[in-house]
Amino acid sequence: MQEALRLAASVRGRTSPNPWVGAVLVRGGEIIARGATAPYGGPHAEAAALALADARGADLYCTLEPCVPFPGKRTPPCSEAIIAAGVRRVVVALLDPHVGGAGIQRLRQAGIAVELGDGAEAAADLLRPYLKWRQLGLPYVIAKFAVSLDGAVGAPAEGITWLTGPAAVERVHRDRDWVDAILVGSGTVLADDPALTARPGGAAADRQPVRVVLDARGRISPESRVFAPGAPVIVATSSSSPPAWRQAVLERGAALLELDRPEGRLELRQLLRTLGQRNIQSLIVEGGPTVLSSFFEAELVDEVHAYVTPRILGRAAVPLLPPGTPLPPLHLESVTIEPLPPDVLIRGYTGSWQPPLLPTLAPET
């Protein structure tokens, strides 16, 4: 199961809207085939492994429940492929909320022994974006920021806007490489003109995340780098943005979303619902401070990636959260600390959403 989880992690984020799954065929205590879910429309992990070896009498380990037939399905059901291949036993880490136990029941009805739960916690952790999207129809939100030791995100008056070193920058691009979308506010585009692309190892990734910009008033230039070819762009705005600006944004190939604007802010829950309807399961919010504080204040952040750099920026510093932001204390859960010299990445969950307690099946009798 550890090898199946490793295979699943190797394709994380590249299979949406399908979940990223790993599968391993075993005979006589030896692995005879491995499989991982292909990009959408391609084979699932189980089918990929079954295609590589004679599975008669073998055991199959998979990180998520095998699928069953349903209207509009684009690939053959894995449960049927497992039965046809003559697999002896299937070990499943986690039930798929989209399948709901039907895959396991189908295997058992065909006389295949099925065990459930081995690696469940690790599989649920790996699949957090998919599970949230399936449960709520909303993307899994990661708040990412870099701060100095005195809690600032930069000191533009002193010419300091980029805080972290090469190791941390590379780590950021590895995360961009697997998520479905990246979000910033208009202030970040105006100040930094970012490309918002994934460039792990310094080269543009083949698959680029959707770029999302919040711009209620229509302030960013249609010539900004965020509109460069290579990835879809979504601009969320309000009814107050100028019609000519809207037309110019559309001509750059971007999709335009008009959101409600209660109390002067774009309605973020409305935005997330729309992104979820577009099969965006994971979203990194990169700022700036006003956007980050809005997501925290609305309790929409699921995970935090805080890059801490050994600098003190002093009086010229721009704080991470604007003064007066009405946020209660937040204690992260399941915290990990990753050294990225000279910086440190602190990761943890906010607890605003947790993987659901998926239904369990009665043991096989």
Same domain (yes/no): 25, 145: no
Euclidean distance between CA atoms 33 and 166, whole angstroms: 37
Same domain (yes/no): 50, 199: no
Same domain (yes/no): 206, 121: no
Same domain (yes/no): 187, 293: yes
Same domain (yes/no): 73, 150: no
pLDDT of residue 329: 85
263 labelled catalytic: no
Say if 234 falls within a structural domain.
yes
DSSP 223: T
What's the pTM value of the predicted model, to 2 decimals? Answer: 0.93
The three-class DSSP label of residue 175 is: helix
Same domain (yes/no): 98, 212: no
Residue 38 is part of which domain span?
Answer: 2-126
Instruction: State the DSSP H helix or E strand holding residue 49, giving kind and residue range, or none if neither.
Output: helix 45-50
Say if 133 falls within a structural domain.
no
pLDDT of residue 308: 96
The residue ranges of the chain whose pLDDT is under 70 are 72-73, 357-365
Residue carrying structure tokens 């697997």: 178
Say if 41 falls within a structural domain.
yes
Same domain (yes/no): 115, 144: no
Euclidean distance between CA atoms 221 and 216, whole angstroms: 13
Euclidean distance between CA atoms 70 and 133, whole angstroms: 19
Beta-sheet strands, E only, within 163-294: 181-185, 210-214, 233-237, 255-258, 282-287
Considering 71, 97, 126, which residue would you say is the last residue of a domain?
126
In this predicted model, what pLDDT tens digit does every residue of 175-198 receive, in sequence order? 999 999 999 999 999 989 999 999
Same domain (yes/no): 218, 327: yes
CATH at residue 228: 3.40.430.10
**Listed residue (164, 161, 198) closest to 338, CA to CA:** 164
Say if 364 falls within a structural domain.
no
Say if 197 falls within a structural domain.
yes
Phi-psi region of 316 (alpha: psi -120 to 50; beta: other; left: phi over 0): alpha
The three-class DSSP label of residue 150 is: coil
The three-class DSSP label of residue 348 is: strand
Say if 292 falls within a structural domain.
yes
Same domain (yes/no): 231, 122: no
Say if 52 falls within a structural domain.
yes
Same domain (yes/no): 156, 250: yes
Same domain (yes/no): 77, 146: no
**Cβ contact 23:7 at 8 Å:** yes
Same domain (yes/no): 103, 169: no
Euclidean distance between CA atoms 251 and 144, whole angstroms: 30
Say if 336 falls within a structural domain.
yes
What are residue 213's DSSP bridge partners? 184, 235
CATH at residue 115: 3.40.140.10
C-alpha angle 88-93-96 in degrees, rounded to nearest 5: 100
Catalytic residue among 3, 46, 80, 267: 46
Considering 86, 102, 126, which residue would you say is the last residue of a domain?
126
Domain count, the chain: 2
